Amino acid sequence: MIFLKSEQELELMRDVGRIVANVLLELEEAVKPGITTEKLNEIAEDIIIKSGAKPMFKGYKGFPASICTSINEEVVHGIPSLRKLKSGDIISIDVGAEKNGYCGDAAVTLPVGEVNEEVMRLIEVTRGALSVGIKQAVVGNRLSDISHAVQSYVEDNGFSVVREYVGHGIGRNMHEEPPVPNFGVPGRGPRLVPGMVLAIEPMVNMGTFMVQVKDDGWTVVTCDGRYSAHFEHTIAVTEDGPRILTLP
């Protein structure tokens, strides 16, 4: 069942979205060679709580932290630890928060120090894939128009899209209907109508699209060990076009 959100509910989602965006802005500043992912988690949790919200990921199916920190060949769901970032790394940070009963979810991939050109291109293409997906989130389109646009953009640029993990509806719950895959043919799935709120999140790999889960039961890694990038925004479908809720 897809829940449609009223204008008032969208305001509440915009509020929590703002908090998520502010966390990402602060973390972008903090990411430097030498910092631990646990420190990034602390910074994020501090801001979320001081803003009157709750970290949405913490405790979700037992996830132990407030953010996911996925480095290099890690795709998503990396757990913050004492691991120090070093120059040449890339880190994907996923932040989720809940306030007044509504959720916000966004992610960015950041270079650490000096990163090689092809890896920078991976990051830019992943960001571009999210842009391209957002532009499809208009009334009258079908859900898979988003999926198809993301896949085409990524593959035209020589990278691959992860199949096993997908975007999702979001609202009073972190994960709601409908799933939002990053691949597929256009013209399928529910028709997009005003009030739908979707977390669109392309996960893009340099090599094979295949992924697997590490022994910790959480961290998803590429099967070929090559790098992966991830960007995400929470987007409302409105009469006037897509509205990014996860902005400052």
Q: Which residues contribute to the site for other proteins (CB under 8 A)?
A: 14, 21, 25-26, 28-29, 124, 127-128, 130-131, 134-135, 233, 236, 238, 240-244, 247-248
- The edge-to-edge listing of strands for the beta sheet with 197-200 is 176-180, 167-169, 197-200, 233-238, 241-244
Which helix (H) or strand (E) is 200 found in, with range?
Answer: strand 197-200
Residue with Cβ nearer other proteins (80 or 195) = 195
Residue with Cβ nearer other proteins (43 or 58) = 43
**Smallest distance, other proteins to C-beta of residue 18, A:** 9
Residue with Cβ nearer other proteins (85 or 110) = 110
**Smallest distance, other proteins to C-beta of residue 59, A:** 29
Residue with Cβ nearer other proteins (102 or 209) = 102
**Smallest distance, other proteins to C-beta of residue 8, A:** 14
Burial class for 237, CB neighbours closer than 10 Å (0-12, 13-18, 19+): buried
**Smallest distance, other proteins to C-beta of residue 248, A:** 4
Matching residue, tokens 């994960």 = 175
Task: Evaluate whether 41 touches 81 at the Cβ level (below 8 Å).
Answer: no
Residue with Cβ nearer other proteins (219 or 234) = 234
Residues of 176-212 as b/e, b for ≥16 C-beta within 10 angstroms?
bebebbbbbebeebeebeebbbbbbbbbbbbeebebe
Residue with Cβ nearer other proteins (228 or 238) = 238
Give CA–CA dist 105/170, Å, rounded.
Answer: 8
**Smallest distance, other proteins to C-beta of residue 90, A:** 14
**Smallest distance, other proteins to C-beta of residue 5, A:** 12
CA distances from 142 to 137, 147, 152, 153, 196 (A): 8, 10, 16, 18, 12
Give CA–CA dist 205/59, Å, rounded.
Answer: 28
